[in-house]
Amino acid sequence: MMEKQSSSSTNPTNSYPAKKEPLRVGVLGFGGLGQAAARVLAPKQQMLWVAAADQKGYAYDAAGLNPDSCITTYRSQGSLGYLEPAGVLSNQTIQDLINQASVDGYFLALPNLPNTFMASVARQFIEAGWQGVLVDALKRTSAVEQLLELQDELQEAGITYMTGCGATPGLLTAAAALAAQSYAEIHRVEITFGVGIANWEAYRATIREDIAHLPGYNVERAKGMSDAEVEALLEQTNGILKLENMEHADDVMLELAGICSRDRVTVGGIVDTRNPQKPLKTNVQITGRTFEGKISTHTFTLGNETSMAANVCGPAFGYLKAGVSLHQRGIYGLFTAAEVMPHFVN
Ligand code: NAD
């Protein structure tokens, strides 16, 4: 059990917004991102991590979960369901948590395999009559489009759903939306990411979903690959995945936000699955024309020391906090990272 201290009077940043109970947060999916999310939340005063689920079990403790014991249990026994005393084994972990846990908002750190999975999870929340905030770090355009179709249902259900709120889409898309303000017309948004991870097994879904973008592959094929087949592919490429012209939802999100048409947005990058150092600097370049007729490019570059996990989980919880402030004002439905500013979580 993790004790949360009340906001410290010596830290002035905690006095805004007004001191109140921390938000109760759940994390669905406890792989690479889910575990990083637990660590990101641990020092926060304004959020309390109370629930998490993997495919075979879940853990819920209204007083707060301990990241160390959850991660140790998951890694040694394969599921949070074995956690003492808060774990429960189940073959419908998401449904069980929806029914049992008292949670203000969930970060959905789930694989989107098949490509319809996240939309089906959103539907599960709607059908259960659950109300609150959901945040995902979805990547594919077609996956975000499925959620767009649920806009009215989410609104009627009283759910504020923040989609595409990881790094890309997410942090970089939001940076593009901000940078666009200097221009009268946006010509091009070019996202280039570099990801370095020590071993692919720490982020199986991320790597499978990236493989699905390679020539000759698709989501179905990548989903069906055994771990040995993924390893064999990575052996051939020396652990490197080079991705170009990806189907990434940054395009539909910037189009929906009225910034530019989707064909002006490109996303590509390099993933090194054998080295935690980034193979290149992640950046977004926004090119446009100013009101004076000048063509210029803004560049927003992420620090090389920031990991994928830091750049996904930080924004995800920033958007969760923003989502809660919308929800408290009775504003429900679907929002993207390009139309709402994330709030900083202290
Ligand atoms: P992972 O493979 O490491 O872990 C997935 C977790 O989900 C596991 O704990 C697994 O047990 C659980 N899970 C699977 N099916 C489940 C079910 N039906 N019910 C409950 N739990 C279930 O995944 P990861 O590498 O952390 O990636 C998670 C997602 O984040 C992926 O979809 C990936 O594409 C996305 N991602 C987004 C960005 C971004 O910038 N937007 C960056 C990285 C990853």
How is 170-221 classified by DSSP, letter by letter? BHHHHHHHHHGGG-SEEEEEEEEEEEE-S-GGGGHHHHHHHHTTSTT--HHH
Catalytic residue among 3, 4, 19, 213: 213
Residue with tokens 């319809």: 116
Nearest one of 84, 31, 85, 81 to 57, comparing CA atoms? 81
pLDDT band at 8 (very low <50, low <70, confident <90, very high): very low
Mean model confidence pLDDT for the chain: 95
Ligand 1 midpoint to CA 221 (Å): 17
- pLDDT attached to residue 18: 53
Residue nearest to atom 5 of ligand 1 (CA): 31
Q: Where are the domains of the chain?
A: 7-167+309-336, 171-303
- Mean pLDDT (whole number) for 73-85: 98
46: which DSSP letter? S
Ligand 1 midpoint to CA 165 (Å): 14
Start-to-end CA distance of the chain, whole Å, equals 20
**Max Cα-Cα span within the chain:** 65
Residue 12 has pLDDT above 50, yes or no: no
pLDDT digits (tens, 9 = 90+) for 121-152: 999 999 999 999 999 999 999 999 999 999 99
Ligand 1 midpoint to CA 287 (Å): 33
Amino acid at 288: G
Ligand 1 within 6 A of CB of 30: yes
CB within 8 A of 60, min separation 6: which ones?
A: 50, 51, 86, 88, 97, 100, 101
Ligand 1 within 6 A of CB of 53: yes
56 has catalytic annotation = no
115: which DSSP letter? T
Q: Please, are residues 292 and 215 in contact by the beta-carbon 8 Å criterion?
A: no
pLDDT band at 3 (very low <50, low <70, confident <90, very high): very low
SS3 279: coil
Helix axes 171-179, 308-328, angle to 10 degrees: 70
Ligand 1 midpoint to CA 298 (Å): 32
Ligand 1 within 6 A of CB of 209: yes
Helix runs in the chain, H state only:
32-41, 67-77, 93-100, 117-127, 141-148, 151-157, 171-179, 204-211, 219-224, 227-236, 250-256, 308-328
pLDDT digits (tens, 9 = 90+) for 202-245: 999 999 999 999 999 999 999 999 999 999 999 999 999 999 99
Nearest one of 95, 130, 85, 103 to 48, comparing CA atoms? 103
Ligand 1 atom with the smallest distance to the CA of 74 is 9
Half-sphere exposure of 275 (CA within 13 A, CB side): 12
Q: Please, are residues 336 and 151 in contact by the beta-carbon 8 Å criterion?
A: no
pLDDT > 90 in the chain, percent: 94
Ligand 1 atom with the smallest distance to the CA of 203 is 25
Ligand 1 within 6 A of CB of 54: yes
pLDDT digits (tens, 9 = 90+) for 284-342: 999 999 999 999 999 999 999 999 999 999 999 999 999 999 999 999 999 999 999 99
Residue 72 has pLDDT above 80, yes or no: yes
Nearest one of 136, 146, 100, 109 to 29, comparing CA atoms? 109
pLDDT band at 5 (very low <50, low <70, confident <90, very high): very low
- pLDDT attached to residue 14: 42
Amino acid at 339: E
Measured CA distances, 318 to 159, 228, 244, 300 (Å) = 17, 37, 29, 19
21 has catalytic annotation = no
CATH class of 7-167+309-336: alpha beta
pLDDT digits (tens, 9 = 90+) for 276-285: 999 999 999 9
102: which DSSP letter? -
Ligand 1 within 6 A of CB of 109: yes
pLDDT band at 10 (very low <50, low <70, confident <90, very high): very low
SS3 content of the chain, % helix, strand, coil (to 5): 40, 25, 40
Ligand 1 atom with the smallest distance to the CA of 34 is 26
